[in-house]
Amino acid sequence: MHAVVIGARGGIGAALATLLEADDRVTQVSRLGRHTGLDVTNPDSVTAAAAGLAAPPDLVICTVGLLHAPDLAPERALRQLDPAAMARSFAVNAIGPALIAQAFLPLLPRGRKTLFAALSARVGSIADNRLGGWHSYRASKAALNQLMRTMAIEQARRNPDSILLSLHPGTVDTDLSQPFHRSVPALLQPLQAARHLVDVINAATPDQSGQLLDWQGLVIPY
């Protein structure tokens, strides 16, 4: 099996790649990201990365995400909305994974189980939103979930054994979640989260395609 991990230089992506490299069923792991020239906000770089694979992938995991940066923070109130910051969140969290899917899904072999996964978040669930805030991040992850669902329907028509999943890894001890650790009672380590996600991926079936699943394999409502 050839596994492709996008965003594999650190955090959950690096842990997933390391775990897959130790799996006897996996013959090759391609670690892609900015360090290899792949920028999810640059369509040409995404297309080039897909074209540069040495073999068709059986598993593609997009772990790229943006919650905060030195000049960007989650909004606590509507008055803090900034169009440029919102567009940036959507570019990385929703449009980027969609571009990855556009380039990589056609490469997945037919006739056997293949899987494309993108890391999402529970806060992207509209039904589960009880606290408000984090407008751009929530909305961009909700958009990702809708894109994954829509792409799963199309993919099922042309490749019935192919599965698309949005995955919520839990709150993990990474740079993305670091400013918010104090409010998390049960913080997962990257390798721990990666093991849970691999278990969910291994157990996934085509009838689950398009769903948002948490790290325990439980369905999160959109």
Higher pLDDT, 80 or 60: 60
Q: What is the mean pLDDT of the chain?
A: 92
Per-residue pLDDT reduced to its tens digit, 90-137: 999 999 999 999 999 999 999 999 999 999 999 888 988 888 899 999
Higher pLDDT, 170 or 97: 97
Domain boundaries, the chain: 2-214
* Domain 2-214, CATH number (from 3.40.50.720, 3.90.25.10, 1.20.58.2050, 3.40.50.20): 3.40.50.720
Residues whose CB falls within 8 Å of the CB of residue 71, separated by 6 or more in sequence, listed in order: none
Q: How far apart are CA 66 and CA 121, in angstroms?
A: 11
Segments of the chain assigned E as strands: 2-6, 28-32, 59-62, 114-119, 162-168, 212-214
Structure tokens at 15: 């842990």
214 DSSP β-pair partners: 168
Residues whose CB falls within 8 Å of the CB of residue 144, separated by 6 or more in sequence, listed in order: 93, 94, 97, 98, 118, 120, 124, 166
Residues whose CB falls within 8 Å of the CB of residue 103, separated by 6 or more in sequence, listed in order: 46, 47, 49, 50
The lowest-confidence range among 44-53, 71-80, 98-107, 139-148 is 71-80
For residues 74-91, average pLDDT: 93
